[in-house]
A and B are shown apart, each in its own frame.
Chain A
Amino acid sequence: MDQSEAVKGAATAGVTTVTVLFFARLREVLGCEHERVSLPPGPQTVAALRDHLRARGGPWEAELGARKAVRVAVNQDMADAGTPLIDGDEVAFFPPVTGG
């Protein structure tokens, strides 16, 4: 299946809606702990979700910019920009970790 067919397939299956979580400094600055977000048409990836959130402007633009050190987990496993998303996924954005 090539990419255009993949996109068409996703479109016929309905909109991809994911649960997005924010932790630590990101949670505070964005004023958001969790929310449901539907991805726009196009590639259904972590990068697309991050761009979509960044387009809200203000702190979203500033905190989720390409040069910001933001870590991402999908369904509680570390992920990266290219990780694909499907309906119902749990996506978390957070700063580099500082435990221990």
Chain B
Amino acid sequence: MSVRVQTQDFDAGAEIAALRRSDPRIGAVASFIGVVRDVNDGDSVREMTLEHYPGMTERALEQIVAEAKSRWDIIDVLVVHRVGRLAPADQIVLVVVTGAHRGEAFAACEFVMDYLKTRAPFWKKEATTEGARWVEARAADDQAAERWEQ
């Protein structure tokens, strides 16, 4: 299991290759990449700044990954999340889950993202054509996380 918080960009192909390397048990790799959109709530986004809570962020991500591993029969999980200043089309987050079969890998990947969106201490501030603003949490994200409780 690996969790990283960093300012620099990531190479998803290289990360996946490293995670798969010499593990012949792996039959499925599911991955998700989150990207900065150029429009949010109707305004053009020029730039975004991601703030986090150093220490707690890594701890929260590790707990989410541990929870995913206890719920699904998967082999490994990688989470890379960027912080600092980002521009539209920049990559924000990468989640990769490896497993023997696709069903468990798909589900675990979605679960990690849903929990990350509601439990990991990151905050986005957007610079838009209408000025700077903190992004508000969305009810849809809470609902997405809650469906895993059922």
> Which residues of chain A have a CB within 8 Å of any CB of chain B?
21, 23-25, 69, 73, 76-78, 92, 94-100
Contacts and interface: CB of A to CB of B under 8 A. Distances in A.
A23 B93 contact: no
Given A97-B117, A99-B116, A100-B92, A76 B56 contact: yes
Contacts of A97: 117-123, 137
Nearest to A78: B119
A76 B55 contact: yes
Contacts of B43: none
Contact of A98 (B59, B81, B93, B137): B137
A25 B113 CA distance: 23
Contacts of B137: 69, 95-98
Interface of B: 34, 50-53, 55-56, 59, 81, 92-93, 113, 116-125, 134-137
Nearest to A94: B121
A80 B3 CA distance: 26
A98 B122 contact: yes
Given A23-B121, A92-B56, 12 more contacts: A23-B53, A24-B51, A24-B125, A73-B56, A76-B53, A96-B136, A97-B120, A99-B81, A99-B92, A99-B122, A100-B34, A100-B120
A41 to B, nearest CB: 29
A96 B59 CA distance: 17
Contacts, number: 71
A24 B123 contact: yes
Given A99-B50, A99-B116, A100-B92, A94 B55 contact: no
B53 A95 contact: no
Contacts of B134: 24-25, 95, 98
Contacts of B120: 97, 99-100
Nearest to B125: A24
A93 to B, nearest CB: 11
Please provide the 3 A-B residue pairs with the shortest distance between their CB atoms, ordered closest to farther. A99-B122, A96-B137, A24-B123
Contacts of A25: 123, 134
Contact of A21 (B34, B53, B119, B125): B53
B53 A99 contact: no
